């Protein structure tokens, strides 16, 4: 492992300030010389592999601000501090009852040990990646911009079919993010320039020409809060995850659905897809297909067709299109049949 320095500030202001003071503060966060570490489950893994190479780690695990560790439910919604652990959110009664899609997405992610360490902020920001990215002997535009992409003509069974570019086809692997897209969440950030709020759906960037730039964040910008509005659909919400094995595996395809039904008709619906796309993916075409009509196998099937109309498979991952469609149909019908 490359040598690195380590700082453990107690205030947000100081944590952001340390990074802001670096000459390369305008670099995208994962390429910056100073980077944050929270639970460390993504960062430590990639530092050991030489994939992440900060020379200064800023540990945010002991920041004193209590809001960062709080789950605050109110009639307006629920606010989750960025340092809340995945396991804490998963077990929280307000989340389990009011926002089941969140609890389900977290419960099926990683292992209990990892969920006990990992923060919600770190989970959202886990690297979008593939096996070639992990191994520094392969070309990878994301790890080493401009070096090429070993996955294009390599083994690309795990790779994305939606949102791909000719530079990168790596899948966004997180589960929780799909729940956040479906629930229309937003994130609050802090940096030395102040605070800002953005729709969660705008946080991640498509790979395009610059797959090494994964989010809108600056290197010195910390996520502080995740804000989820209380909407009529939140209780009737569900996460379906399809994996190669039943537990402790990333999604091959996953679907988050939130549904507002009135007399059997779809008043509103939001759908996010995981394991299939380069970013947490909102399937808006599928939503449009369903709005105002009944939800049954036929209409769900039409929505699933619409969701994958723009899919771009490579040699080994075309199966994800039919798998993804079937997962979407199943998730929609299971959500419809939930008793809330």
Partner 1 sequence: MTADASSVSTPWMALRDTDRPAEPATRPDTVVAVDFIVNGKPCRLELDPRTTLLDALRDHVGLTGTKKGCDHGQCGACTVIVNGRRTLSCLSFAQMNDRDEITTVEGLASDGRLHPVQQAFIDHDAFQCGYCTPGQIMSAIGCISEGHAETDADIREYMSGNICRCAAYPNIVAAIRQARDEMERA
Ligand X SMILES: Cc1cc2nc3c(=O)[nH]c(=O)nc-3n(C[C@H](O)[C@H](O)[C@H](O)COP(=O)(O)OP(=O)(O)OC[C@H]3O[C@@H](n4cnc5c(N)ncnc54)[C@H](O)[C@@H]3O)c2cc1C
Taking the C-alpha atoms of residue 171 and residue 306, their distance in angstroms, rounded to an integer, is 20
Nearer to ligand SF4, 165 or 299 (CB): 165
Is position 8 an interface residue for partner 1 (rule: CB under 8 A)?
yes
Decide if residue 48 touches partner 1 (CB under 8 A): yes
Closest approach, Cβ 69 to ligand X, in A, equals 12
Instruction: Give the contacts of 285 (CB within 8 A, at least 6 positions apart).
Output: 306, 307, 309
- Kindly tell me which of 44 and 230 has the beta carbon lying closer to ligand X: 44
d(CA 159, CA 166): 13
Determine if 122 is a binding residue for ligand X (CB under 6 A): yes
Edge-to-edge, what's the strand order for the sheet holding 34-37?
5-7, 56-59, 34-37
Binding track over 64-103 against partner 1, x by CB under 8 A: -----------------------x----------------
- Our CB check for partner 1 shows the closer of 226 and 290 to be 226
Tokens of residue 59, six digits: 């540990």
The residue with its CB nearest to ligand X is: 122
- Asked if 225 interacts with ligand X (CB under 6 A), we say no
Any contact of residue 208 with partner 1 (CB under 8 A)?
no
Q: How far is 220 from 155, CA to CA, in rounded Å?
A: 36
Structure tokens at 20: 């802001």
6 touching partner 1, by CB under 8 A: yes
- Calculate helix-pair angle for 319-336, 297-307, nearest 10 degrees: 140
Stretch that binds partner 1, among 4-12, 151-159, 269-277, 312-320 (CB under 8 A): 4-12
| Shortest reach from residue 162's CB to ligand SF4, in Å | 14
Residue 170 Cβ, how far from ligand SF4 at the closest point, in Å? 4
Using rule CB under 6 A, residue 35 touches ligand X? yes
- Which among 303, 231, 284, 229 has a CA at the least distance from the CA of 260? 231
- What are the angstrom distances between the C-alpha of 303 and each of 70, 244, 253, 320? 37, 25, 16, 16
Binding residue (CB under 6 A) for ligand X from 110, 273, 279, 304? 110
- Closest approach of Cβ 270 to partner 1, in Å? 17
Contact 243, 251 (CB under 8 A): yes
- Give Cα separations from 233 to 80, 98, 135, 171 (angstroms): 19, 10, 42, 27
Minimum CB distance to ligand X, residue 204 (Å): 12
The 3-class SS string of 218-270 reads CCCCEEEEEEEECCCCCCCEEEEEECCCCCCCCCCEEEEEEEEEECCEEEEEE
If the CB atoms of residues 174 and 207 are measured against ligand X, the closer one turns out to be 174
- Binding to partner 1 (CB under 8 A) within 228-287 occurs at 247-248
Q: Is 196 within 8 Å of 189 (Cβ atoms)?
A: yes
**CA 135/CA 170 separation, integer angstroms:** 14
For ligand X, the binding residue among 40, 145, 154, 301 (CB under 6 A) is 40
Q: Which does 247 bind (CB under 5 to 8 A by kind): ligand SF4, partner 1, ligand X, none?
A: partner 1
Structure tokens at 271: 């759908």
Stretch that binds partner 1, among 12-20, 125-133, 265-273, 298-306 (CB under 8 A): 12-20
Based on the shown chain and the rule CB under 6 A, indicate whether residue 109 belongs to the binding site for ligand X.
Answer: yes
Q: Note the residues at the interface with ligand SF4 (CB under 6 A).
A: 129-130, 132-133, 140-142, 149-151, 168-170, 211
In 3-state terms, the chain is what percent helix, strand and coil (to 5)?
A: 30, 25, 45
Q: Which residues bind ligand X (CB under 6 A)?
A: 30, 35-43, 45, 60, 82, 109-110, 114, 117-119, 121-123, 125-126, 173-176, 222-223, 250
């Amino acid at each position: 492992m490359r040598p690195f320095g380590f700082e453990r500030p107690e205030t947000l202001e100081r944590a952001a300030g340390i990074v802001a003071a670096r000459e390369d503060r305008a670099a995208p966060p994962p390429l910056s010389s100073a980077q944050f570490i929270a639970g460390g489950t993504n960062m430590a893994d990639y530092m050991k592999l030489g994939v992440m190479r900060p020379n200064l780690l800023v540990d945010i695990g002991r920041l004193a601000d209590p809001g960062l560790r709080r789950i605050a439910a109110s009639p307006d919604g629920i606010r989750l501090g960025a340092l809340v652990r995945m396991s804490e959110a998963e077990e929280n009664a307000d989340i389990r009852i009011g926002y089941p899609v969140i609890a389900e997405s977290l419960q099926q992610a990683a292992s209990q040990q990892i969920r006990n360490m990992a923060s919600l902020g770190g989970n959202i920001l886990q690297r979008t990646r593939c096996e070639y990215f992990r191994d520094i002997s392969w070309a990878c535009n994301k790890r080493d911009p401009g070096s090429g992409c070993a996955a294009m003509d390599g083994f690309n069974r795990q790779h994305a079919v939606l949102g791909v570019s000719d530079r990168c086809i790596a899948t966004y692997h997180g589960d929780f993010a799909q729940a956040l897209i479906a629930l229309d969440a937003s994130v609050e950030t802090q940096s030395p320039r102040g605070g800002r709020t953005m729709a969660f759906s705008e946080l991640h960037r498509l790979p395009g020409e610059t797959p090494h730039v994964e989010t809108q964040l600056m290197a010195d910008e910390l996520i502080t809060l995740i804000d989820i509005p209380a909407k009529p659909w939140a209780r009737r919400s569900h996460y379906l995850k399809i994996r190669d094995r039943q537990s402790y595996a990333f999604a091959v395809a996953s679907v988050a659905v939130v549904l507002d039904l009135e007399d059997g008709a779809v008043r509103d619906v939001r759908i996010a897809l995981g394991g299939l796309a380069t970013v947490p993916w909102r399937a808006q075409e599928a939503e449009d297909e369903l709005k105002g009509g009944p939800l049954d196998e036929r209409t769900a099937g039409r929505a699933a067709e619409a969701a994958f109309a723009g899919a771009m498979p490579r040699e080994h991952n075309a199966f994800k299109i039919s798998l993804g469609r079937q997962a979407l149909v199943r998730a929609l019908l299971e959500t419809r049949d939930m008793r809330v």
